[in-house]
Amino acid sequence: MSTVKTVRIGETEIATEAFGDPAHPPVLLIMGGAASMLWWPEAFCGRLAERGRFVIRYDQRDTGLSTKYPPGEPGYGIEEVVDDAFAVLDAYGISRAHFVGFSLGGMIGQVAALKDPRRVNSLTVISSSPIGGDQTRLPPSGDAWLDHMNEEVDLADRAATIDYMVEDSRLVAGVAAPFDAIEMRAFIERDFDRSDGYLSGANHSILFDIDQEWRDRLSLLNVPLLVIHGTADPVFPHGHGDALAQSVDGARLVKLDGGGHELHPVHWDRIIGGIIEHSDSVKSVSAQQTKERKKS
């Protein structure tokens, strides 16, 4: 069972959905570029909630049921979408949460942890890239996916867009399990119709232009960090996950054998288990620190 809530930030509306018991430790899920919250599957959220977490997913601006802006004229940047994440927590009466970000969502999570670490109990970054460091040393994306990205598609054409997105999903899939084109097409059709099209999603390209201020501070990130990355990711090859984990003291890296740029069910146990273990370890450390403070 879940609850839905619309969060209003000025004239912007953010659609959200929560799973589980609000008394449990909160986990905020931040999806990647141009992707609605449905790309965090309902079953994934439910299984995370069953493990004793209060799980919140949401549509970022220009996705799903949230406010859309004219294509090419977003009128916002990384700072605003980070503040959106905090506003979602505020709407649920939550001061601090465990942040989990996928792809671009992982970069948003890094900025959030640098901007206001008091609100981020822990950070889990999945299939993403470091916002700082020497970007020229990171491995490039796969040629087949890059060629596909450079193809022109009429995003106003439902059939053409869905075909394009199914092919995109095939190209970013890993090798740990067969790609199910029929299931993916059904999902993308549902997501496209719920979002009333994908025209505004391209506005998220502006979010990759992260201010140098934040890039220069990545090594100073002091929020407990878990990096989860597939070994067959063609968008951000696994060297990106390695680089992120090496950039932050105490960070831990979990590699998904054969995993692509996706949340495939074959890896859910590993991903969910990692999030639970990571957030539990933070809770244990906090409890120990509180005990030590009381003794002193």
Cα separation, 126 vs 116, whole angstroms: 20
Active site residue 261: yes
Candidates 229, 261, 267, 278; catalytic one: 261
SS (H, E, C) 218-245: HHHCCCCEEEEEECCCCCCCHHHHHHHH
Candidates 103, 128, 129, 200; catalytic one: 103
Indicate the pairing of strand 54-58 with strand 12-19.
antiparallel
Decide if 233 contacts 174 (C-beta within 8 A).
yes
Active site residue 103: yes
Candidates 128, 233, 238, 240; catalytic one: 233
Cα separation, 177 vs 182, whole angstroms: 15
Catalytic residue list: 103, 233, 261
